[in-house]
Amino acid sequence: MKSFNVPVHYRSPLVSAIKQKRKADDKMKRDFTPTELHIGSLQIVLARHFGFCYGVENAIEIAFRAVAENPGKRVFLLSEMIHNPGVNADLIAMGVRFIMDTKGNMLMRWDEITPDDVVIIPAFGTTLEIEEILRTRGIDPARYETTCPFVEKVWNRAGKIGDDGYTIVVHGKPGHEETRATFSHSMAHTPTVVVRDMEQAMLLAKYITGEMVGATFYTDFAGQFSTGFDAAKDLARIGVVNQTTMLASETQGIADYLKQTIVAHYGLSEAQTAERFADTRDTLCYATNDNQGAVQGMLQTDAHMALVIGGYNSSNTSHLAELCELKLPTYYIANEHCLVNEHVVTHYNMHTHAEVVTTGYLPGTRPLRVMITSGASCPDALVDRVIQRLAVLTGNEAALEAETMRWQAIG
């Protein structure tokens, strides 16, 4: 796979050595067992896969190149490059400005953009409507487009099955940048509706079977269907695609449920299923699958707690935290500073959507075993700093230095 020119301060000597060693020993990526670090009285259980994915590294390389290639010019990002506050802060420090926030709210007027400006399309992609606005302002949206190739794969697949006469069901968070972009690209080909979770998929199934009819559809799915969507006829043939950062097992569960609904409602044989349900399982992102699979592998062992590192608005990171908290105390943290001391941690509560403070989070048991993973937009250097912080809090700085040297020797 291609390697990218990512700023060195996002790298980590320890994590790089671990990843190189694991890759050399497992080129086909079939081993999802975690890596265990023995740091004195601290034991780190590190997920097999975590951190920057292909799409994120590609986006960072293009964004930094856009700034370097255009000295003296104004450089804008449509919205956050990726959902990592550190990376976005670095770009802001270089003079990059955001045109809108992550919800699509404008932070400036479109008429402030001139043909001499540079506009970067973030890794999530953007809508066809915004691409057209940029063209009218004299901006080529493809010049510094950092859209993840795996997001584009979803668009292409949706377009293909849409042209074949299927309605697209998008499993995603309706307000997320990627889902908004996928929705736009899909509805250019075919009627499209977004479902946020299994609960909404089950509701959609009732409209497929006719158990529910009429105008209630437009209330139940307000803001989540394309213009002119006709629930009475547009749900007769469907295919499911996803926001690539969703929980892969949930996407597959939704697809399977809707497929079974279609088969039962129309009395289809296995050979007839494709007449009304398109197979789209190949749109699941490899990095999402790998990172979530690695967490499942990590959870096969025991630990006292888990730390999940990433931006609080990162969809893929939140799903890693969801998996971990099913088994053990889990703290979703933005960076090493969240580990205030050995008694206090600040972390994100996904259920209340707020940062909270917890005391007594660090068990006194020794050896202390801590599981660690991070989202696809989290630099390895940040994971390294969290490990360093844990070593300091547990009095294992010297042991961490020795463990780092050991991995650098074998990695």
70-114 per-position pLDDT tens digit: 999 999 999 998 889 999 999 999 999 999 999 999 999 999 999
- Round the average pLDDT of the chain to a whole number and report it: 95
Alpha helices in 29-143 (DSSP H): 54-68, 85-93, 128-136
Q: Which CATH number does the domain housing residue 197 bear?
A: 3.40.1010
Residue 261 has pLDDT above 80, yes or no: yes
Phi, then psi, of 346 in degrees rounded to 5: -100, 135
Whether 34 is covered by a domain: the verdict is yes
Helix 286-298 to helix 248-266 angle (10° resolution) is: 110
Which DSSP letter does residue 122 get?
P
Domain boundary among 255, 284, 313: 284
Same domain, 292 and 398: yes
Structure confidence at residue 345 (pLDDT): 98
Same domain, 403 and 291: yes
Same domain, 87 and 119: yes
H or E stretch covering 308 = strand 305-309
Q: Which whole number is the average pLDDT over 148-166?
A: 96
Structure confidence at residue 1 (pLDDT): 62
Structure confidence at residue 9 (pLDDT): 93
Whether 213 is covered by a domain: the verdict is yes
Structure confidence at residue 377 (pLDDT): 93
Token representation of residue 4: 């990218």
Strands 344-349 vs 354-359: parallel, antiparallel or unpaired: antiparallel
Q: How far is CA 323 from the centre of its chain?
A: 14
Q: What is the pLDDT of residues 105-128, one digit of tens each?
A: 999 999 999 999 999 999 999 999
Query: Cis ω on the peptide bond leading into residue 367 (within 30° of 0)?
Result: yes
- Structural domain count of the chain: 3
Same domain, 21 and 108: no
Q: Which long-range contacts (CB under 8 A, 24 or more apart) does 335-341 make?
A: 335/86, 335/309, 335/382, 335/385, 335/386, 336/382, 336/385, 336/386, 336/388, 336/389, 339/386, 339/389, 339/390, 339/393, 341/393
Same domain, 347 and 310: yes
Same domain, 46 and 63: no
Give the rounded percent of residues in the chain with a pLDDT score beyond 70: 99
Spatial CB neighbours of 213, under 8 Å, sequence gap ≥ 6: 207, 231, 232
Structure confidence at residue 286 (pLDDT): 83
Catalytic residues: 178
Whether 146 is covered by a domain: the verdict is no
For residue 225, give the nearest of 292, 276, 174, 284 by alpha carbon.
Answer: 174
Q: Which whole number is the average pLDDT over 181-197?
A: 98
pLDDT tier at 39, thresholds 50, 70, 90: very high
Residue 248 has pLDDT above 90, yes or no: no
Q: Which whole number is the average pLDDT over 257-275?
A: 96
Same domain, 276 and 346: no
Residues 56 and 323 sit within 8 Å (Cβ to Cβ): no
The SS3 of residue 75 is strand
Whether 176 is covered by a domain: the verdict is yes
pLDDT tier at 281, thresholds 50, 70, 90: confident
Q: What is the pLDDT of residues 331-354, one digit of tens each?
A: 999 999 999 999 999 999 999 999
The SS3 of residue 184 is helix
Q: What is the pLDDT of residues 290-316, one digit of tens each?
A: 999 999 999 999 999 999 999 999 999
Residues 251 and 284 sit within 8 Å (Cβ to Cβ): yes
Whether 153 is covered by a domain: the verdict is no
Whether 374 is covered by a domain: the verdict is yes
Whether 269 is covered by a domain: the verdict is yes
Q: How far is CA 238 from the centre of its chain?
A: 25
H or E stretch covering 206 = helix 198-209
Report how far residue 302's alpha carbon sits from residue 9's, in angstroms, rounded to the nearest whole number: 32
Alpha helices in 73-197 (DSSP H): 85-93, 128-136, 149-163, 177-187
Q: Which CATH number does the domain housing residue 96 bear?
A: 3.40.50.11270
Radius of gyration of the CA atoms of the chain, in A:
23
Residue 246 has pLDDT above 80, yes or no: yes
Same domain, 279 and 322: no
Residues 88 and 101 sit within 8 Å (Cβ to Cβ): no
CB environment 82-100: b (16+ within 10 A), e (fewer): bbbbbbbebbeeeebebbb
Spatial CB neighbours of 350, under 8 Å, sequence gap ≥ 6: 318, 321, 322, 332
Q: What is the pLDDT of residues 366-380, one digit of tens each?
A: 999 999 999 999 999
Residue 38 has pLDDT above 90, yes or no: yes
Residue 387 has pLDDT above 70, yes or no: yes
For residue 197, give the nearest of 171, 169, 224 by alpha carbon.
Answer: 171
Identity at 212, one-letter amino acid code: M
Structure confidence at residue 397 (pLDDT): 97
For residue 148, give the nearest of 376, 378, 382, 381 by alpha carbon.
Answer: 376
Residue 282 has pLDDT above 70, yes or no: no
Q: Which whole number is the average pLDDT over 161-169?
A: 97
Same domain, 292 and 271: no
Which residues form the domain of 172? 163-284
Token representation of residue 286: 């490899």
Spatial CB neighbours of 398, under 8 Å, sequence gap ≥ 6: 40
Structure confidence at residue 253 (pLDDT): 95
pTM: 0.92
Q: Which CATH number does the domain housing residue 48 bear?
A: 3.40.1010.20
Domain boundary among 259, 284, 309: 284
Same domain, 268 and 304: no
Token representation of residue 239: 């295919």
Domain boundary among 284, 307, 340: 284
Whether 147 is covered by a domain: the verdict is no
Token representation of residue 383: 């994971």
